[in-house]
Each structure stands twice: as structure tokens, then as C-alpha cells.
Amino acid sequence: MLQLNRYRVYIKYCFQGILLIFLATVADAQVGNVIYVHDPSIIKVDGDYYIFSTGYGYGIPMRRSGNLYDWQWGGSVFNAIPAWAKQAVPGVNSLWAPDISYRDSTFYLYYSVSTFGSNRSCIGLATNTTLNPDDPDYAWVDQGEVICSNYWNNWNAIDPNLVEDDSGRVWLAFGSFWSGIKMRQLDPETMKPDSANTRLYSLARRPSNNAIEAPFIIRKYGYYYLFASIDYCCNGSESTYKVIVGRSSEVTGPYVDRSGNEMLNGGGTLLLSSTNRWRGPGHNSVLLDSTGDWIVYHAYDAQNNGRPTLHIRSLNWTEDQWPTVGDWVQLETEPVTMNPTDFTLFPNYPNPFNLSTRIGYELPRPVQVNISIYDIRGRLVTNLVNERMDAGYHTVVWEGNSVSSGVYFYRLTAGEFTSIRKMILVK
């Protein structure tokens, strides 16, 4: 049973084979597979919760939970970047900021294709009829390009969010930096831009520095609420991300903050900002659930090398119908066992990196582990790990000081399991 606990509670759980006891404040609310979660989008299906997030490599990771609290790895949407995406955006090496929704018996996953700092970008779409990987009908089908921007545009086609208005029309909000948050009406048959309405609507911008992105729109209390992230992400503990909100009686705006300032003129009521430990909270989604309303976002852990970490907190409402952020999810249950169910090698973070990078992996049982680094010619550079390790989540840091810039590969061998990923060192 979920509860909002305003006080400290003791949480016991098994982590990396050792029984630990933590005084769990709200800073330690979610457990399980909750790090390296960036730009989370959430949906609830048949009592289970699913989160999709940015992939630090080719895919789009999926995580699953039965209680919003204990999260487990659920696989990846893609095994490779779609061919159309690599052709449309040269140099793309990962897929960003997905948005998951359900409509007419189909799950729609919009995703971003871009490279950092560029507006040569595209939004793609993949569909599925189920989110349960054990279902025989489980299969992601890539529907290709939805909308693209290029160097000559003053907007950026990333950070998609699907919105359905009171009339049943469907819209796609998106945008990052440049001239801010945009919106296009979609054809309900193709779920791609409607040829009958080609207008590009502007919803929000920051005239001072253009640092606004990651729109997410919900309908509640007769309003459309636009959440957006301002300032700068993706710099670990130095990130300055914040979440703001405004509302409108029309899905296309104008959106105003609690003081009446338009978001097109730089307005926005502050909802989330950094704490001593959790830096740069942002790129949120919102879940309107029978258990309450929840805001889901990532924040960088200053006590753990700035790793992006999943956060889920209650979304409360004032008497004049403005959102406020409440407490983290807690459980009214006994200790949680955190042993993973599968072997997993995670993308390193950060990637590309300059001085050092962290490699995470999960082991479902005690096993002999080897992690080795190879250069692009397949030559062994170093062995990072070569020992028997307990079940649980583990990390290891590689300092690339003694090698030159370039592409490297890291390989995990754990018993009969082997997995290889690519990383880029830039000096």
C-alpha cells in the first residue's frame, strides 16, 4: 500500500549481497534500478507502472514496477538506432527523451533523434500493442519520422509529448532551446502531423537565454497545465535544471504562470529546483493515478558522482488549482529485496567522457566477473574487474588518463553471460 511519509522511516534491504540498514529520508525514496534514469516518461497499465527514458547508447530503456517504489529493468525498445534516423541525423549515437502514451488499443512511443547542441533533429515514433515483454504479441514497430528540424529552422524537434484535448484532437508538444516550446496538430489516423493544419504553434520561450525544453501537458480542473524545464541539464552535479509550470484554458495557449505572466514572455511558476544533494531536477512527466497525482523526473546525485537518478513525488494542488510538489513515494511494507532478475551491462556515464566514466552492471546471483576495456582494433587496454562478486548492482570507474582520445569498448563476462558496449573518450 502506498503512503506519503512526511517523517523518516527505517528501510531494510539486501544490496550487493549485504544486509544494510538505512535511515531512509525522502532522498532515498525509490529503490532498485533507479540510476541512469534520464528524461523519464511514465504510464500505468493493468496495475503495473512502466518508465521509458533516454538511452545512453542505441536503445530506449524500459523499467517496470508494481508499486511506484521498487523498479526493475525491463529491456530496451530498440536493438539498434533505426536506419532512417542515422541518415536523417548524421552522428547520432543514442535516442533521447521518449514519451509513452496509450490510445485506441495502441501504445505510442515518440522519441528524439539528435546530437548535443544541434537542431538538426527528428522525432520518431514506435508502436506496440502491449508493454509486457512476456506477451507473445510484444513487438515494437518503428513508424519512422514524425517531424524534423534543421539548421535553418529557429526551433528544435526533440522532447516530444503527446496531448489529447477535450475535443479528442491529438497534438504533439516539443522543443528545446532555440525559440522554445512548439506544438503541431496530429492526424489521429497516422499520429503524425496533420496536413490540414500545418500551423506551428508557440507555447513557451525564454527571451533571455533560450534555455527551455521538455514540455509535458496534462488536463485537469478545466485547464491545460504546461510543465517545462529551464536552464541547463546534462552536467552532473553542476546541472542547473529547474521545472516550471503554467496553465491555459486552450491547449494551444496562451499559458500563464500563477502571477499572470505569459510563458511566451519568459513566465513560469517555479516547481522544482536543486537541493544540496539532488541537483538539476527536470525533464518531468506526470501521472494522474487512482493513488494520487505524481510527478516523475530525474535529478543528479551530488553524493554519487552526479549520476542521474529517478525521482517520484506526489503532485498536490492548491485551492486555486495550482500544482505543488509533495513527498516521495514510500511503502507501508516490510524490507524490499533488491536483487536483480537478469544480468545487465548498462551504458557508461557520462558518454562521451573526458577524464573518467562509470560503468554499471547487475548480477542476479554470485558469479565470477570480468570487465575489460578494448580499443577500436580489439586490443586489450586494461582489466577493470576480475573477481567473484555477489548478486546486486555494481559500478566500476575507468580513468582514461593513459590512453588517447577515441572509441573504446568495454566487455562484461559473468559466468556464461557476455555483453559489450561502446564508449567515446574525448580529451
Q: Residues with catalytic annotation?
A: 39, 213
Q: How far is it, in rounded angstroms, from Cα 413 to Cα 415?
A: 6
Residues 6+ apart with CB under 8 A from 184: 147, 171, 172, 174, 193, 194, 197, 199, 200, 201
The one-letter amino acid at 427: K
Ramachandran bin of 276, using left for φ above 0, alpha for ψ from -120 to 50, beta for the remaining angles: alpha
DSSP 351-399: SSBSSEEEEEEEESS-EEEEEEEEETTS-EEEEEEEEEE-SEEEEEEEE
Q: How many CB atoms lie within 10 A of CB 259?
A: 8
Question: Three-state DSSP class for 159?
Answer: coil
- The label of the residue with cell 555494481 reads 394
Angle among Cα 59, 60, 61 to the nearest 5 degrees reads 110
Q: Which residues contact 209 (CB under 8 A, 6 or more apart)?
A: none
- Preceding peptide of 82 cis, ω within 30°: no
SS3 at position 264:
helix
- Answer yes or no: are the C-beta atoms of 195 and 186 closer than 8 Å: no
Q: Do residues 10 and 25 lie in contact, with contact meaning Cβ atoms separated by under 8 Å?
A: no
Contact status, residue 109 vs residue 100, Cβ threshold 8 Å: yes
Q: Which residues of 181-200 are buried (b: 16+ CB within 10 A; e: fewer)?
A: bbbbbbeeeebbbbeeeeee
Grid coordinates of 425: 573518450
- DSSP H or E stretch at residue 83: helix 83-88
Name the pairing type of β-strands 336-337 and 9-15. parallel
Contacts 24+ apart (CB under 8 A), 101-105: 101/43, 101/162, 102/43, 102/45, 103/162, 103/164, 103/170, 103/191, 105/129
- The whole-angstrom separation of Cα 399 and Cα 307 is 17
